[in-house]
A = this chain, B = another copy of it.
Amino acid sequence: MVGPPSAFGIDLHLELRGPGLRAGLTDALREAVRTGRLAPSTPLPASRALAADLGVSRNTVVESYAELIAEGWLTARQGSGTRVANRVEPRRAAPEAPTARPDTRRPSHDLLTGSPDLSHFPRTQWLTAARRALTAAPHDALGYGDARGRMELRAALADYLARARGVYAEPERIVICSGFHHGLTLMAQVLRARRVGAVAVEAYGLDLYRDLLTNAGLHTRPLHVDEHGARLADLVRLHEASAVLMTPAHQYPTGVALSPERRTAAVDWARATGGLILEDDYDGEFRYDRQPVGALQGLDPQRVVYFGSVSKSLAPGVRLGWMVPPEELVPEIVTAKGHGDYMTSALEQLTLAEFIASGAYDRHVRSMRQRYRRRRDQLVEALRHRAPGIRVAGMAAGLQTVLELPRGTESSVVQAAARQGLAVSGLTQFRYEVADRGRPLPERDALVVNYAAPSDSAWEGALDALCRVMPQQGRYGKDETEHAGGRSAHAFAGAAAETGDEREAHPRQAPWPRGAAP
């Protein structure tokens, strides 16, 4: 298949000038073999011939061949010269440019849970903190770090968490992680090593975390959730559960706070049984009607593992979180991490430490709190006028709220929304518990609305789209709801056609994260 040596040079676009002559030849030959332009077993020109043709020294060609033989692209046998090895898989043509993800269709309006308003990420202040942090960092801060994370960040967090969340957090017991997902992964390893069999989890929550625990070899058991939060009394009959995963400050996603009695009951259970409480404080900074409820961890730091992150306060793309475990657990978590910090960027840890210490973090949280409070007020007000039968459940807190729907309408409302290009979650997808001691539990129809996710410019349209698809008072049931969707389908015909059916548009790896992730 090889043409005369001269064609060979031209065909491969060899740059035969300057330093790197041999490297260029080697690369070109390697590429030719890999792309299949030089087929397996093809004999190569004798080194002398190729050298003469290319106007290079024979040595250059010999060395080039030797290198490719060393790498396995070519073979050399006494008497038969150099040939293309026949074990090389031809490389298929690579795409010219990275192709777009196949699933980039986006909803016109996005009220799915998970993200804060990313358009307000404090880019300038973050870069300022990064510059300050990197300028001040000693060289060895860039090396392999302490498994617990950078001391600068742990010190800043100890101060912040005690002040803002009532967490009992000495820097020595804080462990930095890449967010709640990573923290729970580490904790699952620790529980597994401690031969914990089962973890109780709230009956409403993200299947992502239930799956994480299951994949780590732990069983999960649902705990009822009612208007006072998780029903702690049920823990007693879950004999094999020696840990419980909870969102006490703001149950995710139903939006209620754990009642004082149950906070007490949780700690009592942990003390009586030696159990552990895993407290996921995913959005504790955001409360709009009063001071936030402090962390449960403050009640008994020896029985609670506290988790927090910047995913709601800053952005999920900054992969930083923290866990505050009982002191005795720190060595086990360090073991689970592999005795070093192999996950979390030192530069970003230093940046966040500077960002908190400079007060920029508090300023950002305060500013976003006002913004989200306004959004929630607007949501409540709009629904009062346009869908007066709909109850807004849960506290004035966090990034999402629950809208109670008439019985049996959730699925059709979600579908009607999708047809309008509005992405919003039904509560059912967060439901874990379906039966209580054999008796099926009543369905609860509701939407989980992440009013924090849209940018300011997108919010108004999203709110309008939401109001349009809400069932009107007195008109319950499937037909009415579909009609509600159909009524305004005209105005959104383009979006509806583009978005298609919601169930299809929300596969497990949806183009927009589905219910991702406190």
Complex partner residue of A71 from B73, B294, B343, CB under 8 angstroms: B294
Contact B72 A264 (CB under 8 A): yes
CA distance A136 to B69 in the complex (A): 44
Number of copies: 2
Docked complex Cα distance between A131 and B127 (Å): 7
Known: A30-B166, A342-B181. A135 touches B147 (CB 8 A): no
Q: Is A85 in the interface zone, CB < 8 Å from B?
A: yes
Minimal Cβ-Cβ distance residue in B for A260: B70
Which residue of B30, B71, B126, B166 contacts A263 across the interface (Cβ within 8 Å)?
B71
CB distance from A451 to the nearest CB of B (A): 16
Known: A98-B151, A293-B71. A342 touches B34 (CB 8 A): no
Q: Per-residue CB proximity of A302-316 to B under 8 Å, as 1/0?
A: 100000000000011
Against B, the Cβ 8 Å flags (1 = close, 0 = not) of A180-220 are 01100000000000000000000000001001100000000
In the complex the two chains form, what is the Cα distance from A211 to B98 in whole Å? 37
Give A246 Cβ to nearest chain B Cβ, in Å.
14
Closest to A345 in B: B319
Segment among A117-125, A409-417, A468-476 that sits at the interface with chain B: A117-125
CB of A317 within 8 A of CB of B145, answer yes
Given A26-B291, A317-B346, A343-B343: A71 and B118 interface contact (C-beta under 8 Å): no
CB contact under 8 A between A85 and B264, given known A143-B513, A508-B339: yes
Interface pair A123/B118, CB less than 8 Å apart: no
- Name A82-100 residues within 8 Å CB distance of B: 85, 87-89, 91, 94-95, 97-99
Question: CB-nearest residue of chain B relative to A321?
Answer: B342
A386-419 vs B, CB cutoff 8 Å, 1 = contact: the mask equals: 0000000000000000000000000000000000
Say if the beta carbon of A494 comes within 8 Å of chain B: no
New contact pairs (13) apart from A89-B302, A121-B142, A139-B455, CB-CB < 8 Å? A34-B298, A67-B293, A70-B260, A71-B299, A72-B267, A88-B300, A126-B134, A143-B513, A144-B516, A179-B342, A181-B342, A319-B343, A342-B517
User: 5 A-B residue contacts at CB 8 Å?
Assistant: A22-B291, A88-B300, A89-B299, A99-B172, A142-B318
